[in-house]
Amino acid sequence: MNQTATPPATDAAVPAGLLRNLQDGKAVRSLQLERGAINEEARTVTLAFASETPVERWWGTEILDCTASAMRQARLRAGANLLCDHNTRDVVGVVESVEIGTDKVARAVVRFGKSVRAEEVWQDVKDGIRRNVSVGYLIHRAVLAEERDGQEIYRITDWEPYEISLLSVPADMSVGVGRGLGASGAELAPAAAASATPSPTKETRTMDTQATSGAGNAAPIQPTQAAQRNHAVEISALAKDIKGGPELAMSAIQRGLTVEQFQGEMIRHLSTQPKPTADIGMTDKEVRGFSIVRALHALANPLDANARSAAAFEFEASAAAAQKMGKQARGLMLPYDVVRASDLVKGTATKGGNLVATELLSGSFIDLLRNAMVINSMGAVTLSGLVGDIAIPKQTGAATAYWVAEDGSPTQSGQTIGQVLMSPKTVGAFTDISRKLLLQSSIDVEGMVQNDLATVLGLAIQQAGLVHAADRPKGILGGHVATPTVVGGTNGAAPNWEHVVGLETAVSVANADVGTLAYLTNAKVRGKLKTTSKVSGQNGFIWENGDTPLNGYRCAITNALPSNLTKGTANNCSAAIFGNWADLVIGMWGSLDLTVDTTTLGTSGAVRVIALQDVDIAVRNTESFATFADILTA
């Protein structure tokens, strides 16, 4: 294959994600391999195990640099083992020597042992039955050599082979995923375990009875191999445009995750590493010195020069946060550095013996906000500190399998990749605080104010996520699940065991019964279920004692699920939701915007603190939830 000469790329030209992928990922690449002379007296075979033939990988094209300076040979020369199927307990020989020819092909002389197992394999090699060889290697460095027709070509400039294996079944030669067909889970174990050292890569080649100088044609793709290829393509497509996605995709492919499982892993990745960040670069000391109470006191007393002066730092940080977010603060915008901080710092004694609380931050507002929402404890995912609209990848369609005649071929089909879009909507909540309280400056007061703000805001966000209404993010009940899944009756109905099982069945029939499955309802429904028998006239109530009271599933209680819904002539219906709560995603943009209303409660000497937060709520798969919205409890 002709190559266009290109100067070696610098490290800076290599995407950081690819470098991490090469250091931490495990892959298998497959080509054909020549077999050299067999020396029956010495029980040795000369094998060509690597060349510079380009191999297509899902993240690009890989070329192994077969030169003495690029290939580390110490492990092989030290007597690396000859294995079967990469099983370290199935040793049949030893590597005796290694050389790299002028044709840039790496060859090794391997000698077979005399054990019963080694004799069996040795005879198969002589008879031409075992023809496939795989080399395991570590990648230490790669550079982007060129881009051709939109395809990135990487040259592996520092790699280290550490074992050679004979395979009973060839790997998939078309896609480079290629574990041997029917390979045991033992081969995947090293990939699943985290390690500080680079994980292995394998190149599989096929021995030929005649020595050749080039690679042969790839073997026809078998159905199982095609499925492996499609699976890799699906996962890589989902991760393509996500920061840090390629390395997560490779890890998922190696561990055999389904597309659905990988989607959940991508959500968790986004929740821990939202990019770009909304931080403004405050130091730890500046974060600890930021006082919400001091800032609110200044907002409540705009004509008090001393109060404004005391809160000068808070207003400066607020202006920087607003600029970073590209929006105008309505009052005081809390920097995201402060919102996500988690240190609790107590005051220190001065030489005069007085306790002065100079570092007032009482804890993470985000954690307080999460604790205020029941749905968080059920597994809902929170993406905080977002900047700009985000799109969460999901698979919306799958390939189709066909039965074909002996000489026929399957109809082409493929996967459809969609997106769950999220964009900021503003939610507001308020709490009332006395003026005298705002004059205080202590950790306890800071904590109380933050708790109040987090509670009222959390309840508002939770309400939006559960029950759909106009002018707010789309909720589950009446929104993402527009029509109730289980229907009680024309005018509602008392809940029974059939209704409970019906919710679970609906989710299971949609193949969505995975993840953090749980029920959510209100206190009235719980009371009704505790006094309703599973089977009429027999002992045993629907709501049982224990941590999993509803048919073996967890159940949380919140009065955010209403008890005044209308069905027919009834206007006192309650609701219940069952589903995989990990598919509920709450996105929070930037930081909290605080304003102070001094007039509404002016006669009582209190101020109203209004908290504004940009939020959106999405359901990754609507099939993950089932609803029951006409429950009569009285």
Distance from the first to the final alpha carbon of the chain: 79
The pLDDT, as a whole number, for residue 277 is: 56
Q: Which residues of the chain have pLDDT under 50?
A: 1-34, 170-199, 208-224, 274-275, 342-362
Write the CA distances from 386 to 64, 272, 315, 330, 341, integer angstroms: 40, 11, 22, 19, 16
CA gap 530, 541 in Å, rounded = 6
Tokens of 98: 């290694």
Strand residues in 486-583 grouped as ranges (E): 517-521, 554-557, 565-567, 570-580
Q: What angle do CA 596, 602, 605 make, to 5 degrees?
A: 95
Task: Please give the torsion angle defined by the CA atoms of residues 91, 97, 102 and 105, in that order, rounded to the nearest 10 degrees.
Answer: 0
Tokens of 608: 């109203």
The pLDDT, as a whole number, for residue 57 is: 66
The pLDDT, as a whole number, for residue 125 is: 86
Run of H or E including 400:
none
For strands 200-206 and 132-148, give the pairing.
antiparallel
The pLDDT, as a whole number, for residue 44 is: 92
The pLDDT, as a whole number, for residue 179 is: 28
* Cβ atoms of residues 622 and 485 within 8 Å: no
The pLDDT, as a whole number, for residue 169 is: 55
Query: pTM for the full model?
Result: 0.52
Burial of 152 (0-12, 13-18, 19+ CB in 10 A): middle
